[in-house]
Structure 1
């Protein structure tokens, strides 16, 4: 009987063994044997088909180069025929991780990348983080491309140092493939970016006749700490000359982890200061009249003034009305709660150091408001 040399294969993948017997008896009982130190071990059985042909499908859980042979029957002493042995090369199936960066800034798209060999296009992979005591947490799932490459996102909205690994999904435990370990470090970072402003970017907060044109404004995108103790991305539209002052202020505020509810340009609220305040929005530029006083132009029209956490820091308007209406519970400043501003708050001190004054000192207090002297 003959045994064909099998093609090179991979651990956890099928290795195919084929051969035939010289007397083409259909239905002959054939067994497959593997040589291990000190013995031959039975690995499978099959029956011959037309022409005396037989075929085996064998899966090895480990990479190895081993000798295999076949025989008619199950005992070498009484076998009607035994084939010569053939060497089978079962290669190491791997998930190889690329070396991660030394660290990643929050909200910059931290991820684990690598390649699986051999490639299994469309196969799902999972990223896990080690929690200690043998416990792992699922972080993300992705599929590999036609070349076996993959990218798995790492949560980067909180600073953390994680030990991670990648493994195959959709297979039983013995067939899972695991990568080596990698360390991913995410650090809290303000990561400010400054952009020019066009009229199309401020369709509701700018209009002809405003004291500052869009060309003199800048959009700052930066990170801030939310009330959920996670880092979020925000945006402020300010006067060009105020950019460095704002970056300095928010660098201090971010380092202190002062919580911000949200930070969006007022155009997201149709230019409405009332809606922006009700949404507890921190914002700067808005060419408008003073809320509660239609005869005065707001300092926000110049791109210098800023309002912070408008619900936690309400405003008593000239007409005697407190804004926003959902911030009335915060008029009592003797009970300190997250997001409230005081003279001792990091944001307050940072803005004062940049030449701003705080509306909290006014006869009609505006606890949310800061503007240059």
Structure 2
């Protein structure tokens, strides 16, 4: 509906009745950024209080406030009855109706400022302008400022969540009854979020399980935290990393034991209002042998192989696999084994993993300089080592062929041909009772699995060797 100009006398009379300082008092919720000085405010168009609450959806056009009669004229400038100290020079609008423009605000992200700009068509300065957002509950004040040179203004508002709603700027501190209102503009703040890549149905332990994802928009250098959900309902911090140049992240997931748990990723080091929490994901880790077989080069066995040994590197294989440790966690071990025995070892150690029999350590003897004694004292489980029999320098050890295996050497010591028990830190285990973790017996899963593969257990010799198995 077209507005008719309000007579200048009426404007002066209304302004004299309503002091400018009352505007702030009558308008709760004015943001802290509102100027504290009281600018000159054009008189409000006479209007009754609306009979009903504003519409639940943003109006497409400027809502017309209820009024008993139409305005008949438009303010032509600042009234002459002004409080002391207020601006006294304002442009005149003798023929043109008072209007205020509102530029289309740029799309932003939640928790980032949205900027609203425009100008008064009369070029007035120091006029009080307020920003309003349409919500289902009605129009809500979002900010205020004063017009500057040429009637220009700028108001910023930071939404706390994603939005796509209507905004208007009005003259004065009240939405209804304002003498001028801007066109409606749609303000959009997109959802900033952390997105987790959907995990696989399950993972095998010790395979480098990780929770990956990205930030939207890309936020390089942002610290993100991986959390898991406890039975109490609380979220526990597991680990944290910083996003890369493209906002991507990779958070290592504890995969040294079987587990199934809900996880999420949370941003850290940002204001509380800017913290983002991803959707939760479910990660499943299962125990598995995960055997890998590799060729062996001479450089891999520098201390356990030398020219003249009965088996060369080309006939050996490096077998890596998972095993249970004494700490109740899964560990990755390695054996240098004869090529023809690889499949037998995989069968044996699969059975052992399922039985959860603990292994202290499993690594090549080269780590110990090729010394069988040092390897035994370290409680190491191993196979290939081209050497003489410990305690008998005249015999070649069965380990020289890559078939024999020693297991948990401290918990399973042996009596050498020279009558000495090895290793010295395993003497407490010469007596086989009581049974303790890591000790082998005839009924042990490992013993039975090796026997099924054609191995003989050294514990049955006259000089018992509880750690040793070799082909029959």
TM-score between both structures, scaled by the size of structure 2: 0.74
Give the conservation status (yes or no) of the 8 Å contact 2:139–2:175. no
Among 330, 346, 351, the residue aligned to 1:247: 346
Flag the 1:217–1:43 CA change in 2: closer, same or farther, 3 A. same
SS in 2 for 1:107: coil
- d(CA) in 1 for partners of 2:462 and 2:150? 104
The match for 2:156 is 57
Structure 1 runs not aligned, ≥5 long:
none
- d(CA) in 2 for partners of 1:50 and 1:210? 95
The match for 1:34 is 133
The match for 1:168 is 267
User: Offset of 1:27 from its aligned partner?
Assistant: 5.4
Is 1:256 the counterpart of 2:355? The answer is: yes
The match for 1:369 is 468
Flag the 1:23–1:318 CA change in 2: closer, same or farther, 3 A. farther
Flag the 1:209–1:92 CA change in 2: closer, same or farther, 3 A. same
Question: Residue by residue, what CA displacement relative to the aligned partner does 1:3-47 show, whole Å, maximum 9, x if unpaired?
Answer: 221111222232222233446666554432211124221222344
- d(CA) in 2 for partners of 1:310 and 1:349? 18
The match for 2:104 is 5
Flag the 1:319–1:67 CA change in 2: closer, same or farther, 3 A. same
Is 1:219 the counterpart of 2:318? The answer is: yes
User: Offset of 1:369 from its aligned partner?
Assistant: 0.9
The match for 2:376 is 277
The match for 2:399 is 300
- d(CA) in 2 for partners of 1:134 and 1:53? 53
The match for 2:186 is 87
RMSD: 2.0
User: Offset of 1:51 from its aligned partner?
Assistant: 5.2
Flag the 1:328–1:19 CA change in 2: closer, same or farther, 3 A. farther
Question: Residue by residue, what CA displacement relative to the aligned partner does 1:42-81 show, whole Å, maximum 9, x if unpaired?
Answer: 2223445555543333222222211112234422467565
The match for 2:32 is none
The match for 1:70 is 169
Question: Residue by residue, what CA displacement relative to the aligned partner does 1:124-156 show, whole Å, maximum 9, x if unpaired?
Answer: 222221113421122232333344333222211
Most deviating of 248-257 and 273-282: 273-282
TM-score between both structures, scaled by the size of structure 1: 0.93
The match for 1:196 is 295
How many residue pairs get aligned? The number is: 373
Is 1:179 the counterpart of 2:278? The answer is: yes
- d(CA) in 2 for partners of 1:130 and 1:92? 24
Is 1:336 the counterpart of 2:435? The answer is: yes
Is 1:346 the counterpart of 2:442? The answer is: no
- d(CA) in 1 for partners of 2:124 and 2:390? 98
Structure 2 runs not aligned, ≥5 long:
1-99
- d(CA) in 2 for partners of 1:24 and 1:277? 92
Which of structures 1 and 2 has the bigger CA Rg?
Answer: 2
Structure 1: 4+ residue segments shifted above 6 A: none
Give the conservation status (yes or no) of the 8 Å contact 2:132–2:175. no
User: Offset of 1:120 from its aligned partner?
Assistant: 1.0
Higher strand share: 1
User: Offset of 1:293 from its aligned partner?
Assistant: 1.8
Most deviating of 276-285 and 318-327: 318-327
SS in 1 for 2:342: helix
SS in 1 for 2:230: strand
Residue correspondence of structure 1 range 92-111 to structure 2 within 5 A = 92-111=191-210
Question: Residue by residue, what CA displacement relative to the aligned partner does 1:203-250 show, whole Å, maximum 9, x if unpaired?
Answer: 000001111111111110101011111111110001111111111110
User: Offset of 1:177 from its aligned partner?
Assistant: 1.9
